[in-house]
Amino acid sequence: MADEEAAIFARYLLREPAPAEVLRRYRDAVERLFPDAASPRDRALLGFVTRHPWSVGALDAASALLAAKGSLRQRLLLMAALLETTPEGAAEFLPREPRLGELALRLPVIGLAAAGRLLLGLVLFPIAARA
């Protein structure tokens, strides 16, 4: 399950498949950092995301508010940390310097997308946590 989970998280964060080495490092890190069994809610959320990969963005947004210390959020942060150390992922995480006009156009779109993701996540969270 960790391999499938890792692939879903990497695609969410990079919008492309992760290198096999990152998937292996994720699996090893999960075994080492999270040796205890996840809570029933955390297992349900991770299972929901695995069955419905489209939901990871919305549940990530909701988890930031409702379960910041939960497994979903912690594992996503782990994957982000692993990806930013790779050549394929580093460019996605390095700061960019957009022009002021570009920033003025992109910022409202990014904000609306984040708000939409959060609203969807707040609706999905209780459903996914029971699944």
Whether 11 and 53 have beta carbons less than 8 Å apart is answered as yes
Report the chain's terminal Cα–Cα distance, integer Å.
16
Q: Average pLDDT, stretch 55-67?
A: 94
Would you state the pLDDT for residue 131?
A: 67
Give residue 74's pLDDT.
Answer: 94
Task: Give percent of the chain with pLDDT exceeding 70.
Answer: 95
49-56 mean pLDDT: 95
CA 105 to chain CA centroid, Å, is 25
pLDDT digits (tens, 9 = 90+) for 104-117: 787 888 888 888 88
Q: Give the range among 13-22, 23-32, 57-66, 88-97 with minimum mean pLDDT.
A: 88-97
Q: Which amino acid is at 82?
A: L
